[in-house]
């Protein structure tokens, strides 16, 4: 079913609707969606950010939670200060729930143009929850793989 949606173009169309619902200009969406495999053209439409902030974990452990509401709020404030929804900004997650991270390992990369304030940085740093034991969902998936 997913393959069919990708092949017939309906997934791309839905993606365009999602972008517009988030406030992306219709002409920008149209240009993005016609950028098939020419990724060099993509950087003319979406210029890269000039600043990067790297979020690392302060202790080792399994990722139990990434608080996306906290991430969204902090990113909205940061990118909103850049004059609306900046297409050159965003948050790139480098991990997922269930992954094991060592102290100092990168878990997210922030792309932005304006300086991030200490309060935003603190909230983002605290948006990840690590524990010594793996999350229950990981254990359930392992059991399913064994029994299938």
Q: Please, what are the domains in the chain?
A: 1-46 (no CATH), 48-148 (3.90.1170.30)
Location of structure tokens 């949606």:
5
pLDDT tens digits for range 28-52: 888 878 766 666 666 667 777 889 9
Strands 61-66 and 128-131: antiparallel
The residue-averaged pLDDT of 60-77 equals 93
pLDDT tens digits for range 86-119: 566 889 999 999 999 999 999 999 999 888 999 9
Dihedral over Cα of 117, 122, 125, 126: its sign? negative
pTM flag (> 0.95): no
């Amino acid at each position: 079913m997913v393959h069919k949606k990708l092949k017939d173009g309906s997934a791309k169309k839905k993606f365009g609707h999602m972008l517009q619902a988030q406030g992306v200009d219709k002409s920008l969406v149209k240009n993005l969606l016609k950028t098939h495999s020419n990724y060099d053209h993509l950087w003319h439409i979406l210029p890269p950010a000039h600043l990067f902030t790297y979020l690392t974990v302060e202790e080792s452990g399994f990722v139990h939670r990434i608080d996306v509401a906290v991430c969204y709020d902090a990113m909205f404030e940061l990118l909103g200060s850049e004059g609306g929804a900046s297409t050159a900004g965003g948050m790139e997650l480098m991990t997922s729930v269930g992954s094991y991270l060592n102290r100092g390992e990168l878990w997210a990369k922030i792309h932005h143009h304006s300086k991030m304030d200490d309060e935003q940085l603190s909230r983002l740093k605290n948006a990840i929850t690590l524990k010594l034991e793996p999350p229950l969902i990981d254990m359930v998936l392992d059991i399913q793989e064994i029994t299938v």
